[in-house]
Amino acid sequence: MVAMSQAWIVIDGEGQVGPALDVLGTNGSDVSAIVVGPEDLAVNVGRSVGHVNWIDSGEAPTEAGADAIAEAVAAAAPTAVVGSVSPGGRTLLGAIAARLDAPVVSDTLAISQDGNGTRVDKSDLVGRVIVTLDVPTPVCVLPTQTDAAPVELANPAMPTRIEAAPQAMNRVAVEPAPGAGSVLPNAARIVSVGRGLGSADGMGIVTQLASALQAEVACSMPVIDVGWVPADRYVGLSGQHVSPELYLALGISGAPQHLAGIRNAKVVVAINTDIKAGIFKRADYGILADLHQVVPELIRAVAGGR
Ligand SMILES: Cc1cc2nc3c(=O)[nH]c(=O)nc-3n(C[C@H](O)[C@H](O)[C@H](O)COP(=O)(O)OP(=O)(O)OC[C@H]3O[C@@H](n4cnc5c(N)ncnc54)[C@H](O)[C@@H]3O)c2cc1C
């Protein structure tokens, strides 16, 4: 555990205090927080953290507070700074790290102090290994994303406002991004297709099976490059994260980057011709066969079962 009086957490949205305190292994009473955002957020943070500093970013985006935050945190010379993985949070931590001349470590699970500095445990290879680092302090870390909830302290801290002019930055437009509003994150069933389909001609049986199962169609990343499925439907680390009851993977090898998107799928069924395909390690049920033979059988079976 880091000496908590020397640990700071940086908050720019709800739900960030729990993961930050989790990394520090503390109930928060001895930690200092710096909050960028509305006063309500600062007050909420004060329920679980001993000391709360607050910068009101007003109408400006979070990033406009980066300079003021970096200055305030650096003045306290902390041993460790835990940020948040929100887009604004990453920017704030970057500014603090630059001011402290400190390294940044992502996907952090826990930090502790030893004689030589700070020991950092971080997750790597999509959660398959834990890497332990010794870092000369100070160090800035980004936590892994968790649902950890903070404990409410007996005596809530009143936020101390830091008067700071935001850096010049005006929000001139907010518009939906292409692909926003994808149906995949909420889909109960997904039929997902990979390069093993061979060509766009196979999409007919894929959409028939999806329709028979009342499922959404998804794919691996290379499939959008060849245009068989629209770009907002690829699943994985850099794509959609899904949590269906059923994920049916057709001709998908199961690369770690793809599996990262189906961590929360309940039942995974894989059809693949290669017994060594990684998808079989994640699958609850595996069919070692040519998808072009199995999928028509499945369509008939589902139709017959109605
Ligand atoms: C930084 C980075 C980020 C990435 N992000 C993602 C991501 O978010 N999502 C993602 O999907 N990928 C991502 N990738 C790509 C990833 O590494 C893999 O290359 C990709 O997932 C492989 O796609 P695939 O399984 O469809 O194709 P392949 O790896 O080519 O696998 C095709 C599979 O089909 C099987 N097959 C062949 N013919 C048949 C048949 N007739 N019947 C049944 N099975 C058959 C083969 O045995 C094979 O296992 C990323 C890569 C990088 C470097």
Burial environment of residue 59 by CB neighbours within 10 A (0 to 12, 13 to 18, 19 or more) = exposed
pLDDT of 4 higher than 90: no
Q: And the tokens for 293?
A: 């033979």
pLDDT of 306 higher than 80: no
Side chain identity at residue 153, one-letter code: L
Concatenated DSSP letters of 169-214: -------PPTTTT-SGGG-SEEEEE-GGG-SGGGHHHHHHHHHHHT
Task: Decide if 207 is inside a domain.
Answer: yes
Residues 155, 241 within the same domain: no
Residues 151, 8 within the same domain: yes
What residue has token string 């630059």?
Answer: 98
205: CA distance to ligand 1 center in Å? 19
Residues 110, 205 within the same domain: no
Number of domains in the chain: 2
Concatenated DSSP letters of 152-175: PPSSPPPPEEP--PPPS-------
Task: Decide if 80 is inside a domain.
Answer: yes
pLDDT tens per residue, range 185-243:
999 999 999 999 999 999 999 999 999 999 999 999 999 999 999 988 999 988 899 99
Kindly state if the Cβ of 256 falls inside 6 Å of ligand 1.
no
Residues 137, 205 within the same domain: no
The DSSP bridge partners found for residue 134 are 119
Query: Cα 274 from chain centroid?
Result: 31
Task: Decide if 171 is inside a domain.
Answer: no
Residues 222, 261 within the same domain: yes
5 confidence band (pLDDT: 50, 70, 90): low
Tell me which of 184, 205, 252, 268 to substitute to probe ligand 1's pocket, judged by most ligand atoms within 8 Å of the beta carbon. Answer: 252
Check which CATH number belongs to the domain holding 258 and give it.
3.40.50.1220
pLDDT tens per residue, range 120-173:
999 987 677 899 999 988 999 999 877 788 999 998 999 999 988 778 887 788
Give me the domain span that covers residue 69. 4-161
Residues 157, 265 within the same domain: no
Instruction: For 246, list phi and psi in degrees, rounded to 5.
Output: -130, 125
* Per-residue confidence (pLDDT) for residue 210, from 0 to 100: 96
Q: Are 19 and 146 in contact (CB under 8 A)?
A: yes
How far is Cα 157 from Cα 180, in angstroms, rounded to an integer?
A: 38
Residues 17, 143 within the same domain: yes
Residues 240, 146 within the same domain: no
Kindly state if the Cβ of 118 falls inside 6 Å of ligand 1.
no
Residues 142, 268 within the same domain: no
* Per-residue confidence (pLDDT) for residue 305, from 0 to 100: 66
Check which CATH number belongs to the domain holding 61 and give it.
3.40.50.620
Atom of ligand 1 nearest to the CA of 235: 9
